[in-house]
Amino acid sequence: MNQPIKPEIAEKIQQLERKFKNSGQDLGSYLDGLLHDRYLTYWDYIHLDTLLSLQIPRTHFPDEEIFIAYHQITELYFKLIIHELKQIIDDKLQNAKFFTEKLHRVNRYFRVLINSFDVMIKGMDREQFLKYRMSLLPASGFQSVQFRLIEIYSTPLTNLVNPKERGQFSEQDPLEEVFEHLYWKFGATDLKTGEKTLTLKQFEYRYTPRMMRIAHQVKSSTIFHKYLDLPEKEQNNVHLIEALRTFDTNVNINWLLMHMGAAYRYLNKEKGEVLATGGTNWKKFLPPSFQRITFFPNLWSEEEKENWGQQWVAHQFNTTK
Ligand code: HEM
């Protein structure tokens, strides 16, 4: 026997009727859909089978799977970081509280990445790595567009120019011109011949349009601009300043130092070094103290900028003594 419809259900149906009527839709048809719908499962919701099908090694060395999965995990965190940065950029309220909360999220994600990098440094067999990496040429994490976008969203391109030419460009210069002088392009170019590595050429071909589109979009609204546009009282908020400085050190020192540790573990030799898959002179390209990238230069003293990333140099010095 049919039970009478409970009043709270009848109320819900009326609400639904109003909702669908307002958008010119027929509730009955949607109820039909609901009747035939399958129940949602966890594995469908997060597309688990697809996710787990994306780790496809190119060799038979078991540790290659760790290398692929950890890069993918990092890219997912990069995605979450960009998700927060975009919200700061789009925000119209201009208050330090919102800004700081979003940066705390970003810093939390970076903390996870920095603390987990030993999965790479200690978690793979060196002999296997040195073999399977030869099947990956000329691919390199250098081609991570999300890493480049974190930079582009955070600071004007002029702050990303290679150290030899930094200061020679202003925000009035065409973005296309400044873009050609970024530190990572410089690092992957033979300075004698001017020839770019294949890794760089392929990356440029694939992603320059996207990077330029976004660089134009945030020309006056990078995270740095958003900070400088805040009312003075909000700009002086100590929690916000601390969060920005932590973000800057997380990306431009701490993550780079952990990453550099991996390069040393696998590519350094007693005499000379193993060539990097991306073809850079990695010992000169990777250390933060050589590139000296800072997203928010105004938030650091001259001395702090002078000693940027020196931890690595100090660490190397101590271990080689
Ligand atoms: C065993 C692990 C790793 C080694 C040995 C390594 C090595 C290198 C080397 C040598 C470079 C310089 C470019 C080249 O010539 O190839 C580079 C760049 C880079 N790699 Fe890795 N990498 C490792 C793991 C990762 C992971 C897990 C990521 C995460 C996405 C990553 C992202 C990057 C990025 C973003 C750059 C450019 C850095 C910059 O412009 O300062 N790498 N890597």
Task: Write out pLDDT tens, residues 210-224.
Answer: 999 999 999 999 999
- Give the pLDDT band (50/70/90) at residue 63: very high
Ligand 1: does its nearest atom lie under 6 Å from the Cβ of 282? Answer: yes
* Burial class of residue 124 (count of CB atoms within 10 Å of its CB; 0-12, 13-18, 19+): buried
Question: What is the pTM for the complete model shown?
Answer: 0.94
Q: Give the per-residue pLDDT at 319.
A: 44
Q: Give the per-residue pLDDT at 270.
A: 79
Ligand 1 centroid vs 104 CA: distance in angstroms? 25
- Give the pLDDT band (50/70/90) at residue 315: low
Q: Is the pLDDT of residue 183 over 70?
A: yes
Ligand 1 atom nearest to 148, measured from its CA: 35
Cα(first)–Cα(last) distance of the chain, in Å?
Answer: 87
The phi, psi pair for 22, rounded to 5°, reads -60, -30
Average per-residue pLDDT for the chain: 94
Q: Give the per-residue pLDDT at 243.
A: 98
- Give the pLDDT band (50/70/90) at residue 317: very low
- Give the pLDDT band (50/70/90) at residue 312: low
Give the closest residue to 222 by CA, choosing from 296, 147, 146.
Answer: 296
CA distance 84 to 279: 33
Q: What's the rounded mean pLDDT across residues 131-148?
A: 97
Q: Is the pLDDT of residue 275 over 50?
A: yes
CA distance 61 to 132: 7
Nearest CA residue ID for atom 42, ligand 1? 141
Ligand 1: does its nearest atom lie under 6 Å from the Cβ of 181? Answer: no
Q: Tell me the pLDDT tens digit for each residue of 90-115.
A: 999 888 999 999 999 999 999 999 99
Nearest CA residue ID for atom 6, ligand 1? 263
CA distance 117 to 122: 9
Ligand 1: does its nearest atom lie under 6 Å from the Cβ of 266? Answer: yes
Q: What's the rounded mean pLDDT across residues 114-143?
A: 97
Percent of the chain scoring above 70 in pLDDT:
96
Ligand 1 centroid vs 261 CA: distance in angstroms? 10
The secondary structure element, H or E, covering residue 311 is helix 310-320
Ligand 1: does its nearest atom lie under 6 Å from the Cβ of 261? Answer: no
Biggest CA-to-CA distance, the chain: 88
Question: 246 near 109, Cβ under 8 Å?
Answer: no
Q: Give the per-residue pLDDT at 280.
A: 87
* Burial class of residue 220 (count of CB atoms within 10 Å of its CB; 0-12, 13-18, 19+): exposed
Ligand 1 atom nearest to 286, measured from its CA: 41
CA distance 280 to 286: 9
Ligand 1 atom nearest to 183, measured from its CA: 40
The tokens 């932590």 sit on which residue? Answer: 246
Q: Give the per-residue pLDDT at 256.
A: 97
